[in-house]
């Protein structure tokens, strides 16, 4: 197994079978390895699907209550193994003694298959430890998909969801953040901020710096803000993508952070980032809604190395800028799997004739709930005619009967 995680083979979402969540009653969907575009009328269940995918892929029985009836998530590795995780909600019998609440009686049955061979069946107690054999090695089964995938020698699939609105609480961005390094703790920082994911390696970098200072018995009283400011740096790949695909020319941590220390801990306060737009540095509050959304999508997608789920990336974005954003997402999808939902015809015009099978159409059926399908062979043939003889795929979507 390669030491560097990035050198390991990858897995991506190949197929899902989902039941019992909001408008989704029973759907099975195949995904493309790189870019997937979900279209459908309002109320067809696109957002429910995105939300359920995120919940099912990230489900952790030690942390989450299961909010869906069933999910089978099948991941395909770049070395052609299928890993299937099944989660099924069930209700334990009421023992009438403890008079349990319904919530307390909800359990999760878990199954795990490799290449369609069932290895873990009906596992419903968190404490149970089971071993599975893979590639001649015995591996302790883990309920955490990413830990298991990692133990089996693959890159974990950390998924990211970007909804219509950016989260209300974004430490370091829309509110000043604070980091406290405790000398007495084994793990330095006690409270990680509630913010975008791309801050994680920055915080780790700062933490390592403080750990090194502590190990080398450096007097914290001698440390100045200027010494640590250098550690607070937004990743170069994010800055490059922001410059290429958004109006944000640069991002920096404000030099106005404060440093406090006493015998037990060291606090860095008033941490926030600033944005350079039109050659002027400004705080988050001064950015336009469209620029905020572009920053959110570009920074987080660049940072992500797993599955990226994005709801309607076109919202609030100028059409020319959206064109660039789609270029960005298509480029990013060369190395990570991206699923977007969209109402924008222009989003579909970024697909070539050979990529039309990456379109998913959502519709709502009164009896069956949300239905998801790919384009039929006839529709692909007609779409290609439109692309050749009329103009774009969007002409087919707008002028013809694609969603009728």
Residues in the chain: 404
Query: What are the tokens at 296?
Result: 């959110």
CA Rg, the chain, in Å?
A: 24
282 or 398: whose CB is closer to other proteins?
Answer: 398
214 or 395: whose CB is closer to other proteins?
Answer: 395
What is the closest distance, in whole angstroms, from the C-beta atom of residue 395 to other proteins in the complex?
Answer: 6
Q: Which of 4, 7, 184, 404 binds other proteins (CB under 8 A)?
A: 404
Distance, CA of 73 to CA of 17 (rounded, Å):
7
Distance, CA of 195 to CA of 172 (rounded, Å):
7
What is the closest distance, in whole angstroms, from the C-beta atom of residue 309 to other proteins in the complex?
Answer: 29
- Give Cα 104 distance to the centre of its chain: 29
Query: What are the tokens at 261?
Result: 């220390």
130 or 385: whose CB is closer to other proteins?
Answer: 385
204 is a contact residue toward other proteins (CB under 8 A): no
212 or 390: whose CB is closer to other proteins?
Answer: 390
215 is a contact residue toward other proteins (CB under 8 A): no
400 is a contact residue toward other proteins (CB under 8 A): yes
For 349, residues 6+ apart whose C-beta sits below 8 A from its C-beta are 392, 393, 394
**Total binding residues toward other proteins, as defined by CB under 8 A:** 13
- Give Cα 188 distance to the centre of its chain: 26
Ordered strands of the 265-271 beta sheet: 177-182, 265-271, 258-261
330 or 384: whose CB is closer to other proteins?
Answer: 384
| Cα-based torsion angle of the residue sequence 309, 157, 76, 341 in order, rounded to the nearest 10 degrees | 0
Query: Contacts with other proteins in 287-346 (CB under 8 A)?
Result: none
Nearest alpha carbon to residue 229 among 282, 295, 296, 274: 274
92 or 343: whose CB is closer to other proteins?
Answer: 343
Query: Contacts with other proteins in 359-398 (CB under 8 A)?
Result: 378, 382, 385-386, 389-391, 395, 398
What is the closest distance, in whole angstroms, from the C-beta atom of residue 349 to other proteins in the complex?
Answer: 14
| 40 CB-contact burial (10 Å; exposed 0-12 / middle 13-18 / buried 19+) | buried
Residues near other proteins, by CB under 8 A: 378, 382, 385-386, 389-391, 395, 398-401, 404
């Amino acid at each position: 197994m390669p030491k560097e995680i990035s050198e390991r083979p990858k897995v991506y979402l190949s197929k899902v079978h989902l039941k019992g969540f909001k408008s989704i009653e029973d759907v099975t969907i195949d995904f493309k390895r790189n870019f997937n575009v979900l279209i459908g009328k309002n109320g067809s269940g696109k957002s429910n699907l995105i939300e359920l995918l995120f919940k099912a892929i990230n489900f952790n029985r030690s942390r989450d209550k299961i909010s869906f009836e069933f999910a089978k998530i099948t991941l395909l590795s770049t070395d052609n193994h299928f890993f299937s995780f099944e989660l099924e909600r069930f209700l334990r019998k009421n023992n009438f003694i403890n008079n349990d609440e319904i919530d307390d009686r909800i359990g999760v049955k878990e199954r795990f298959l490799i290449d369609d061979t069932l290895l873990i069946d009906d596992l419903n107690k968190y404490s149970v430890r089971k071993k599975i054999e893979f590639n001649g090695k015995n591996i302790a089964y883990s309920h955490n998909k990413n830990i298991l995938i990692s133990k089996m020698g693959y890159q974990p699939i950390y998924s990211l969801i970007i909804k219509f609105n950016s989260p209300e609480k974004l430490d370091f961005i829309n509110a000043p953040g604070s980091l406290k390094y405790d000398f007495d703790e084994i793990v330095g920082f006690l409270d990680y901020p509630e913010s975008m994911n791309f801050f994680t390696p920055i915080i780790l970098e700062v933490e390592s710096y403080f750990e090194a200072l502590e190990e080398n018995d450096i007097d914290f009283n001698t440390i100045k803000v200027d010494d640590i400011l250098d550690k607070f740096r937004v990743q170069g790949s994010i800055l490059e993508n922001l410059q290429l695909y958004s109006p944000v020319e640069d991002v920096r941590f404000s030099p106005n952070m404060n440093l406090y220390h006493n015998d037990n801990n060291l606090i860095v306060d008033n941490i926030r980032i600033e944005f350079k737009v039109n050659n002027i540095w400004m705080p988050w509050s001064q950015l336009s809604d469209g620029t905020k959304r572009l920053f959110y999508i570009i920074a987080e997608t660049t940072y992500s190395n797993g599955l990226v789920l994005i709801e309607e990336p076109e919202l609030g974005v100028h059409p020319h800028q959206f064109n660039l954003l789609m270029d960005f997402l298509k480029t990013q999808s060369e190395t990570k799997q991206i699923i977007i939902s969209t109402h924008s015809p222009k989003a579909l015009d970024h697909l070539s004739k050979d990529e039309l099978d990456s379109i998913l159409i959502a519709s709502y059926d009164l009896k069956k709930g949300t239905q998801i399908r790919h384009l039929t062979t006839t529709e692909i043939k007609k779409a290609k005619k439109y692309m050749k003889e009329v103009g774009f795929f969007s002409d087919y979507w707008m002028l013809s009967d694609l969603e009728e």
